[in-house]
Structure 1
Amino acid sequence: MEKEEKVMIVLLMMVLLSLSVAYTTFYQGGTQIQELSTSSKPGEKVYLEGTVVSERFTNTGGHLLIDVEHSYGTTKVFVSKDKGAQEISSVISENSKVHVTGEVQEYQGGLEVVVQDISDVKVL
């Protein structure tokens, strides 16, 4: 084999390795967000659509708690003060139809959906 051929093979191998690393790091096509259900587990990213039953701020911290009635019952949605609690509270009210995306977490023995960004709560 010529020197140029060896260099070319090494470069092609490096390109293939780089592409495979990028693919496994950035490709998220296999991780679709599922609808919240009775089988949802803490740590999963889910969505739910439903009607706001109540909304209130926590006694300490200024975080927003929203109770959303949907196809599987009523679920608490937690919005941290630094994730847009005030802004979300200003656009929703009781009986608002909402689409919420967030992470399932366990709190005091029950499951709740924790909003990660203000754009994760949409009024329908």
Structure 2
Amino acid sequence: MEKEEKIVVILLAMVFLSLSIAYVSFFNDGSSDAAEFSAFSETGERVYVQGDIVSKRFTNTGNHLLMTVNSGSGPVKVFVPSANGAKDIGVMVNEDDVVRVTGNLEEYQGEPEIVVQHKNDVVLVRAA
């Protein structure tokens, strides 16, 4: 193989790698790796739920956002830490809005709870 051919092959490989990284960075919405929340979901699993916001309030300490989302199969508790965009999400959504929430399934006081990792993990589907 000639020197010029080797350079072209290396450049093509670099272009392919760059395009692959750009695709993963810009076109992955983060929810594709999440499973729909169900009674069979396990603690630590990345899950999503879509439904109406039944209640929304901020904690007295820490300014964390607590929501309850009715997914159709029952209410699901959602916890948004203040460091993960609680204030921005609190402004964006209201009770009776339909949202899609993605996060890690945790357990709090014996109840399952979806913990939001980033403010983009809460998407307003339809305003009330």
1:56 maps onto 2:57 in alignment: yes
The SS at the match of 1:94 is coil
Identical counterparts, % of pairs: 46
CA distance in 1, matches of 2:33, 2:67: 24
Runs (5+) with no aligned partner, structure 1: 1-30
CA distance in 1, matches of 2:84, 2:117: 6
Task: Output aligned runs, 1:13-52, within 5 Å.
Answer: 32-52=33-53
One-letter amino acid of the counterpart of residue 37, structure 2: L
Q: Is the 8 A contact 1:38 1:72 kept in 2?
A: no
State the aligned residue count: 94
Tell me the residue number matched to 1:69: 70
Structure 1 runs (4+) deviating above 3 angstroms are none
TM-score using structure 2 length = 0.71
Determine which structure has more spread, i.e. the larger CA radius of gyration. Answer: 1
Q: Is the 8 A contact 1:54 1:94 kept in 2?
A: yes
CA distance in 2, matches of 1:33, 1:88: 20
The SS at the match of 2:57 is strand
CA distance in 2, matches of 1:112, 1:88: 17
Runs (5+) with no aligned partner, structure 2: 1-31
Shift of 1:32: 3.4
